[in-house]
Structures are given as structure tokens and as C-alpha cells.
A and B are shown apart, each in its own frame.
Chain A
Amino acid sequence: MPDTSPRPVPAPDPLTQPFWDATAAHRLEIQRCAACGYYNHPPKRLCDQCTSPDLGYAEVSGRGKVYSFTVMRQTSIAGFEDKVPYTTMLVELEEQPQLLLAATVPGAGDGIAINQPVELWWEPIEDGFVLPQFRPIA
């Protein structure tokens, strides 16, 4: 397998298509329960909190903080082999405790700290997809 293998791109399904439609328009929308207001991510058929099937998407602020991070020194993920070291962050959005999104930061995590505020930016990738990414605010 060559080092230039393509990185994974999302394979949306009816449940997740609205998320990727929104990011393509630079809006961050998370599945939200119409019955209880709980945000479900990844999206579900039934609400994680109240089991209601009445689920839609709602725009969120994109503000949050670093829940945790890990520095990837080696990886066997296609398309990322030549990007090490890079840092995987979990970002906790301000809308709900433990509403966590993955994000990628180049480098070995220098200056990243848990609970540090982050800001949202948009990364276009293959096939017209746009990833919601986050970077720590100094």
C-alpha cells in the first residue's frame, strides 16, 4: 500500500446526510431530539436520553473546549501514515456536557491543554466533503 493512499471520506446514509449537507455549507448541525432537546452524536434512530424517534438537526455554536487529546506517533490509517505526529482531539461542545466531536491538529500537541477553548474551522477534503475541524485558541 503506497504512502499516498487516500484518506477515508464519509459514506453518508439517510441518518447522517443532513450533517454533511450542513458542513458543506459551513454550518455545524448536530442531531437533536425534538422531545427532550438532547443532542445525539453520532446520530441515532432513537434518542439516547429519552428514546423518542422524533429527531431532527439543530445548528450549534461551534464553541467548545478540549475534552482530551492524544498524540499519534504511528498510525495504520489510510491517508494518515505520512502525517505523524498529529494530534487527535476530542472537543466538548458548549451546548451539552460530553457532546464530543473528533478533530485533528497537526504536530505533537505542543501547547494543547485539557479544557482549553477551541475554535471551529472548515477543512474541504475529497469528493466535496467539508470536515468541521477545531483548533485551540491561545
Chain B
Amino acid sequence: MTWASRGKTAVVGIGTSKISRKAEKPLGLLALDACRAALEDAGVKPEEVDGLVTYPDQPFLGAGNRDGEDLVTVNFLIDHGGLAKDIKWYSQISSGMIPSAFIEGVHALASGTCNYVLVWRAMHLPQGTYGAWRSNRAGGDTQFTAPFGAANPFQWHGLAYQRYMDTYGAKREHMATLVTNSRRNANLNEAAYFYSQPMSFEDYMNARMISDPLSLFDCDIPVEGCIALLLTTGDRATGLKQKPAYIAGFGQQATKRPSLTTYTMDDHMICGGSTTSKIWEMSGLGPKDIGAAQLYDGFSPSTYYWLEAAGFCGRGEAWQFVQDGRIALEGELPVNTFGGSLSEGRLHGMGHLAEAVRQVTGRAGPRQVVDCHASIALDGSPMLRNAGILFTSEP
């Protein structure tokens, strides 16, 4: 059954802060830069914003929690954003990644609770080693992994990817096509961390190995920065500065998983499919209707898993699907047209949402996909909690 509120809400503004490895100002100011830019982009005044939502979590467990330094909460925006004097609605979620926060904003608008909702994702890059395990006591589920030297997210992804390659016959050279395609797209994206650095097939194949079969270039690049989107109702959306990107459907992962520390080769189909089947049902659209797909790539194999879970290709076929120019800007299904987290930077899926908006509104500049009327953004590992949004050019 198609969703009753399909096309009744839209994104009308995009704002991006500087994305860097070493920010010149605190995260809170980067978030304000992004939010103000989104408002200017739409031609909406800060005091018109009466709804706020974010997913503020730190980049990894154990990072700091100072508001405006390590993360940026709703309170920070209320205190410093110069927004409506009395915000009508806000929400701050801790599960389901940034699209789940976005979905809350859609609900608030569709129910008539407020008029303009700002959604942002601010990512801090702490000093020191990313995600280091420093404790000599391992409690909870980690007591069965950390004493064995297994405590880095890239290990779980390396294990799953090894099994995938072994089961379906994929090799590293197949992944080179996907990773270098993302870099080519980032070279057309001025905001991307790797904007001015190309990557060849040889560069990828010679990359330092991290957790075989994952190499350095299979891991996204941690950055500091913020992207903000301004949402409003369909009737307000048409009178503003930019063409609206309408929300046609969304989905969240909601299946049972046996474990949160070990991924199996069933999890991505079950957990990813839980999200995408809802998106297809709500929107009345399917994989064939998508002009560009923004598929989460915190680790490169996640993009394979999304291609399969969403039904762009069959199970075990993604490594073949990405070949022959099929996912290039000129191809049948352009993927991660902005460079993805691998090459734009690790904004935890917010970059994927912003790019889907750009593609359906014709705002992607030199990387614009021709006749792109629908773009899907799927965020998070398809094996874990994840969520996604489908945008269209028409209501």
C-alpha cells in the first residue's frame, strides 16, 4: 500500500560545513555553519525554524561527550541557533542512524506539528587512534571477543567480507572498480576530503592491508564536519529558492538479529531487506526506478550488501554488478555519486542523504546524473541497525 503522506514533505535546503581532518573551529560552530547554510540555501529565516532533530552520537564508543565539542545536540541548537523563540517540537534519537532522525522530522511535518525542521549530523574526529581499545577489562558481550584480540569494527567487516568472497567468488580487483568509481565521483565534489586526489586501480591494489581482505582504501576516511538539511511541508516547499526533493518513502531495520558482534552472510539480506522492502512498498517504486543510489560505505563491502539486499542485483552478484561501468555516473545505476564516505568523508550517512537530494533536484553540478527523478539513500551497515530514505523530483 502506497504511503498516504508520499510527496507531502520535502527537503528544501542543504548546508555543508568545511570537511577536514583537523578542524579550525569546534564542532558546534561547524554545525551552526551547516545549519545557517541550509537556511540560506532555502531562503528561510532562522526564526522560522520550529522543529529540530538529530542523531548526535559520538563517532565510536568511548569518545567524548561534551556538547559543541564532541557532539552537537538539540540543546546546542536551541541555545545558539537563533531559531524560533519557542521551538514547537524536537527529537534526538540514539538508534537507527541519521535517517531515523530524518524520519521523525517527516512525521512532525506530516502531522502538522511544525513548519520547518532542521536535521543535522555533526561528526567529531577525536585526536589519537580511532576506536582504540584501551581497557584491560572486557565486560558484557566484549568479554567473548576483546580477550581474543577482536575489538575493532573493521575486524567484523573483514570476517564477513572474507566469507562473502569465499562464498561467491569475489576478489579484491572486483572491489577496486567500486572504490575507484567513488574516488572519481569525489574528484567532482569540491566538498569531498579527497577532491583533489585521484585513485588508480594500482593505487587500490597496492594499498596497505588493515584486516585482510580489507585494505586502507576499503575503510572510510574519518573527518570532522557537519551537513544540515531543511525540511518542510509540500505546500511550503514550492515557494522557496530551490527545487524541492520530495520524500517518497522510508524504512528502518526492525528484524531480530542473533548477535551484535558477529555478522553472518544471512544478516545483510535479512536486515538490509527489512529496510528496503518498506521503502519500495511505501513509495510504490522499485529498484528499476532509481536514477542514483547512495549506499553506505563505512567499509566498502557494505555497498555490495546494499545492492543485493535492496534488489538491485541478486544475492552474491554485487561484485559482478559493479563492473563494466554499470555504477559510473553514465551507467545504468550510478552509485555514491558524491564519493561516498570512502572519499567524501565519514559523515555517517548524512552525505548520502544530501547527495540524493542534490541528484533529484538537478543540483549535483559536474556529477549530475541525467534524468534522475528518484534517488535512494541507505545508511548504516546492512548487517546492523540501518535506515533509508527515497527522494523524488515530483510529489
Please give the residue numbers on chain A whose beta carbons come within 8 Å of chain B beta carbons, in ascending order.
1, 5-13, 16, 41-42, 48, 67-80, 83, 86, 88, 90, 98, 100-104, 108-109, 114, 125, 129, 131, 133
Inter-subunit contact A104/B149 (CB<8 Å): yes
Chain B: minimal CB distance from A83 (Å): 7
- Expressed in whole angstroms, the Cα–Cα distance for A27 and B135 within the complex equals 27
Inter-subunit contact B209/A71 (CB<8 Å): yes
With contacts A71-B209, A76-B131 known, what are 13 further pairs, Cβ within 8 A?
A6-B136, A9-B137, A11-B143, A42-B140, A71-B211, A72-B211, A73-B208, A77-B146, A78-B133, A79-B149, A88-B155, A104-B148, A125-B147
Whether a CB of chain A sits under 8 angstroms from the CB of B112 is no
A100 proximity list for chain B (CB < 8 A): 259, 262, 264
Rank and list the top 5 A-B pairs by shortest CB-CB distance, nearest first: A70-B158, A76-B132, A71-B212, A10-B143, A11-B139
Inter-subunit contact A9/B136 (CB<8 Å): yes
Chain B: minimal CB distance from A22 (Å): 13
B212 proximity list for chain A (CB < 8 A): 70-71, 73, 108-109
Other-chain contact of A80, B135, B149, B258 (Cβ < 8 Å): B149
- Expressed in whole angstroms, the Cα–Cα distance for A88 and B208 within the complex equals 18
Other-chain contact of A42, B135, B144, B256 (Cβ < 8 Å): B144
Inter-subunit contact A42/B259 (CB<8 Å): yes
Please give the residue numbers on chain B whose beta carbons come within 8 Å of chain A beta carbons, in ascending order.
129-152, 155, 158-160, 162-163, 166, 208-214, 256, 258-259, 261-262, 264, 266
Are A88 and B150 CB-contacts (below 8 A) given A8-B138, A68-B159, A100-B259? yes
Chain B: minimal CB distance from A72 (Å): 6
A129 proximity list for chain B (CB < 8 A): 147
Inter-subunit contact B148/A88 (CB<8 Å): yes
Q: Nearest chain-A residue to B131 (Cβ)?
A: A76
Inter-subunit contact A86/B149 (CB<8 Å): yes
- Expressed in whole angstroms, the Cα–Cα distance for A11 and B131 within the complex equals 20
Q: Nearest chain-A residue to B141 (Cβ)?
A: A42
Inter-subunit contact A74/B138 (CB<8 Å): no
B162 proximity list for chain A (CB < 8 A): 68-70, 114
Inter-subunit contact A79/B143 (CB<8 Å): no
17 contacts between A and B (CB under 8 A): A9-B147, A11-B143, A13-B139, A16-B143, A42-B144, A48-B256, A69-B159, A69-B162, A76-B130, A77-B133, A77-B151, A86-B149, A88-B159, A90-B262, A100-B262, A109-B212, A131-B147
Q: Nearest chain-A residue to B136 (Cβ)?
A: A6
B163 proximity list for chain A (CB < 8 A): 67-68, 114
Are A75 and B149 CB-contacts (below 8 A) given A42-B259, A70-B162? yes
Inter-subunit contact A11/B150 (CB<8 Å): no
Q: Nearest chain-B residue to A74 (Cβ)?
A: B210
- Expressed in whole angstroms, the Cα–Cα distance for A91 and B28 within the complex equals 44
Inter-subunit contact A12/B136 (CB<8 Å): no
B142 proximity list for chain A (CB < 8 A): 8
Inter-subunit contact A102/B145 (CB<8 Å): yes
Are A7 and B149 CB-contacts (below 8 A) given A70-B162, A78-B136? yes
Inter-subunit contact A41/B149 (CB<8 Å): no
A72 proximity list for chain B (CB < 8 A): 149, 155, 211
Chain A: minimal CB distance from B213 (Å): 8
Q: Nearest chain-A residue to B164 (Cβ)?
A: A68
Chain B: minimal CB distance from A25 (Å): 18
A125 proximity list for chain B (CB < 8 A): 147
